[in-house]
Amino acid sequence: MRRFFVPPASLADEEIYLSTEVLHHLGVLRLSAGEEIVLLDGLGNLCRCRIESLDRRSGSARVLRRWREEETALPVCLMQAIPKGDKMDLVLQKGTELGVSSFVPVLAGRSISRPGTGEEKRLVRWERIVREAARQSRRPRLPHLAFPLSLSRALDECNADLRLMLWEDESRPLAEALPAEAPRQAAVLVGPEGGFSSREAELARQAGFLPVRIGPRILRTETAGFAIVSILQYLYGDLGARSRAHSCKEMP
């Protein structure tokens, strides 16, 4: 059954008026009145609904059933130094598919991409990419997307119990830094195309981040995070043999 995210307040009523974005998807999919869809608020609440009315400009759906789903992935915060061009789009899309729970775009010293006049427009695009990736990968919750932060502020606001920094210099193999017991939450810090400076790496160390490397090869900034998130989800999350069962709770 097709799933679509809607604003949380929309699910409060038994009749839900559909947003322009949902109407567009329904039109592309050629769905019509009488068919059923699932609407999600991005916070874990879901409704199975029947489309009551639908045209190009408006539409509504009637709630048939309510329930709640919880994430089964390990909570991972991906702190990604903003890469050049549209590479951040890929980071957000694939990170969402892999179960990243929050994204923190970081402004590092060697970041080529800097804030500009189109910052709000870029954030709107990033939010749309995350929402669409979460919809397609059938996630019950939307990952949190933070406003771009300086490296020092991003480090100060991190409270994960496992903190890893991908850095090619003075680092240890990832396997040596991973605990036997699953952490409550992990944070992965990835540098820009030019990497972190020695000063930035020292700041991260002081904030509790362990410099690690995945293997003998240097990965691109847009793929490094995917590699380590996949490993963490396999060892501690829902991609491995010890993955937790899917959690679903009926709502009144």
Specify which residues 51 forms β-bridges with: 61
Q: Which part of the chain is CATH 2.40.240.20?
A: 3-70
CB of 72 closer than 8 Å to CB of 244: yes
At residue 41, the 3 state secondary structure works out as coil
User: Which phi-psi region, left, alpha or beta, contains residue 240 (left: φ > 0; alpha: ψ -120 to 50)?
Assistant: beta
pLDDT in tens, 85-112: 889 999 999 999 999 999 999 998 877 6
Q: Hey, what CATH topology would domain 76-236 get?
A: Alpha/beta knot (3.40.1280)
Helix (H) or strand (E) holding 220: none
Helix (H) or strand (E) holding 102: strand 102-107
pLDDT in tens, 32-80: 999 999 999 999 999 999 999 998 889 999 999 999 999 999 999 999 9
Q: What is the pLDDT of residue 45?
A: 96
Q: Hey, what CATH topology would domain 3-70 get?
A: Ribosomal Protein L25; Chain P (2.40.240)
pLDDT in tens, 159-216: 999 999 998 887 899 999 999 999 999 999 999 888 899 999 999 999 999 999 988 8
Helix (H) or strand (E) holding 142: none
Please state the rounded mean pLDDT for residues 209-229.
91
Q: Which part of the chain is CATH 3.40.1280.10?
A: 76-236
Q: What is the pLDDT of residue 248?
A: 61
pLDDT in tens, 230-250: 999 999 999 986 555 455 666
CB of 125 closer than 8 Å to CB of 105: no
Question: CA 214, 219, 221: angle at the middle one, nearest 5?
Answer: 115
Q: What is the pLDDT of residue 111?
A: 74
Query: CA 50 → CA 34, 41, 230, distances in Å?
Result: 6, 17, 37
Please state the rounded mean pLDDT for residues 118-134.
91
CB of 5 closer than 8 Å to CB of 40: yes
Radius of gyration of the chain (CA): 20
Q: What is the pLDDT of residue 115?
A: 62
For residue 222 the two structure tokens come to 């847009």
Q: Pick the closest to residue 64 from 41, 35, 44 (CA basis).
A: 35
3-state secondary structure 176-198: HHCCCCCCCCEEEEECCCCCCCH
Q: What is the pLDDT of residue 168?
A: 81
Question: CA 84, 90, 92: angle at the middle one, nearest 5?
Answer: 105
Q: Pick the closest to residue 243 from 99, 34, 73 (CA basis).
A: 73
Whole-prediction pTM value? 0.89
Q: Is 200 or 120 the better-scoring residue by pLDDT?
A: 200
For residue 140 the two structure tokens come to 């019950």
3-state secondary structure 153-164: HHHHHCCCCEEE
Please state the rounded mean pLDDT for residues 115-137.
87
Q: What is the pLDDT of residue 244?
A: 52
Residue 22 has pLDDT above 80, yes or no: yes
Q: What is the pLDDT of residue 241?
A: 60
Highest mean pLDDT among 96-100, 112-116, 216-220: 96-100
Q: Pick the closest to residue 220 from 88, 76, 74, 75 (CA basis).
A: 88
